[in-house]
Amino acid sequence: MRTALARAAGLLTLSLAMASCGGGTGGNTPTQPDPGTTDRGGLSVSLVGSLPGRLSHVWVTVTGVALHTDANQAYAEHDSTWVRLQPTMPVTVDLVALGTAGGSVSLLSGLGIATGHYAQLRLLLAPTDGTLLPVAGSAGLSHNNEVERMLSDGGTQRLPLETSSTAPSLPVTSGATDIATDTATNLAVQLGAEEAVTWLNASATDGSTRSLLAGQPRAYGLASTGAIAGLVDMANVCGTAGAPPAGSCISKLEAHVLAPSADGSHLEWVRSVAVGASGAIGLYPLPPLAEVEVLVQGQNMRPLLLRKVAVDLAPLTAALLALIGDQTHPLPLSLATAAHTVQLASAAPADVRAMRAVQTLPGDRPRQRAAGWLDPSTGTWPVAQYWVDSDWDSITWDSGLSQVVTLATPQEGAGGGRLLLPASGSTAAQLGPMESAAARVWRLPAAP
C-alpha cells in the first residue's frame, strides 16, 4: 500500500507541477490602507480551473484580489476600506488549460497583509472592453476576457467574455480567511468554466453575440485540504493498442469530485479534471470534506461512480492522498454506446445562472452529470457527448483497492435524466420532470 501511495503521490506531483505554467507572480504591498493593526502575515493566492465542456478556451485577465472585514460591504472600486492586493503585473489565464492539466497559476506570492479576520474575498478582473492589456495581447486576445467555443460543424468561434460591471469583481465562495502574525496563508481559488459562462444573443454595445461570466469562484485553504489520485484502465480508450475502433472507443475522459450541494438537494461537482493521457487522475485541492464521491465519465462508456472515498485533510507537504486506482488495480472502464443529443423544450430564463443535468440512483439524491447552457446556434444541450443509454458502474471505495463493480440503473431509466436549476439566493433548487432515454426534448423545471 505504501508503494501504491508513493506512486499516486508522484502522479499528483506531476499535476501540481503545472503551477509554474503561465501567469506571473506578486510582489508589491497592498494598494489601500490595512485595517487598524501593525501585525502582519503573508498571503499567497493561486488560481485553478475546471473542465469546460464545449468551450475550448476561457481566458480571464486577473488584476488582483480584494478583501474586507465586513461580510456585507458592497464592493466599489474607489472604496478605500477594501484591502487590494495586486501582482506585479496582471495575469491572463486560460481556465480550460488549467482544468485540463489540473494545475494552477500563482496570482500572489507571500504578500504582507494586516492580521485579522477577513470576511470577504473578491477576484478582480480587467474590464473586458477596456484598454487591451499587454499580457492579454500577448496571449493573442482581442479583449481582456474572451471565450472560444466549439461549433457543431467542428469549427470554433471567439466571443468577448463580459462581466457584470465596468470594474468587475467576483465574490469568492468560502473566501473568508484569518491572517495570523508571521504566518503564511495559502489559498487556491477555483473558477470553473462551464457553469460560469452563459450566452448572450446580443450585446447592448455593438449587437454582437457575447458571453457572460456569471459564475462564482470558490476558495480552498491549502492548510487543510484533501487530494485524490489514481489510474484508470486504458484498454478501451482511443489510442491504446487493441482498443476498439474510432467512434466506439472511449475518449474525452473526465474525473469529478461529488459532494452535497449547499442546500442538500443533490450531489454536485466540486472539482473536475481531465484524465491524463496515461490514465492518471490528480484531484487537488478539494473542499474540507472527510468523504466524497468520484465520478469518471467519457464518450462511449458507462459512468463509473466511486462511493465513500475517504479523504485525509492535511497540508500538501504531508502527501496524504486518497488512492482510487494504481497500476496493479486500475479503475475499470466499461464500454457503452448510443450517446444522444438533447434539446430543451423552451429557452432558459435570462436570470438563471446555470443548468445541470442529473441522474438519480435508487435511494439517493440526484447526481450531477453535466453542466452548461443551451447553445443558441444549434438549440442543443451540451450533455450529448456523455449521455449514453446505459446503467452506471458503481464501486464502494476501499483503501486496499478492492474493486467490486455493481450495476445501478437510474430512477430515470438508462439514458434518462432531469434538468436541475441550482439554488440561487432565496430561490430553492428546482428539479425538472423525469425524462426517459427516448425523450430528446427535455423540459425545464416549473417556475418557483
Q: For 98-148, what is each residue's pLDDT tens digit?
A: 877 667 888 998 888 999 999 999 999 999 888 999 999 999 999 999 988
Q: Is the model's pLDDT at 27 over the cut of 50? A: no
pLDDT by residue (tens digit) across 162-207? 876 666 888 888 778 888 888 888 888 887 655 566 665 555 455 5
Going along 250-354, which residue ranges are E strands?
A: 251-260, 267-274, 280-283, 291-299, 304-310, 322-323, 342-344
N-term to C-term CA, the chain: 51
Residues 6+ apart with CB under 8 A from 124: 62, 63, 64, 65, 66, 84, 168, 169
Residue 20 pLDDT grade (very low, low, confident, very high; cuts 50, 70, 90)? very low
In angstroms, the CA 339 to CA 298 distance is 11
Residues 6+ apart with CB under 8 A from 61: 90, 91, 92, 93, 125, 126, 133, 135, 136, 144, 145
Q: What pLDDT is attached to residue 163?
A: 74
Q: Is the model's pLDDT at 338 over the cut of 50? A: yes
What is the reported pTM?
A: 0.82
Q: Is the model's pLDDT at 430 over the cut of 80? A: yes
Q: What pLDDT is attached to residue 445?
A: 82
Q: What pLDDT is attached to residue 121?
A: 93
Question: 359 with 369: CB under 8 angstroms?
Answer: yes
Kindly report the number of other CB atoms within 10 A of residue 80's CB atom: 10
Q: Which of 163-172, 245-254, 359-368 has the lowest mean pLDDT?
A: 163-172
208 vs 85, which has greater pLDDT?
85
Q: What is the mean pLDDT of the chain?
A: 79
In angstroms, the CA 18 to CA 101 distance is 7
pLDDT by residue (tens digit) across 55-69? 788 899 999 999 999
Q: Is the four-CA dihedral 139, 142, 144, 146 of positive or negative sign?
A: negative
Kindly state the cell numbers that stand for 206. Answer: 455593438
Domains of the chain by residue range? 16-221, 228-442
* Closest among 163, 153, 151, 156 to 211, alpha carbons compared: 163
Q: Is the model's pLDDT at 279 over the cut of 70? A: yes
Q: Is the four-CA dihedral 164, 169, 170, 173 of positive or negative sign?
A: negative
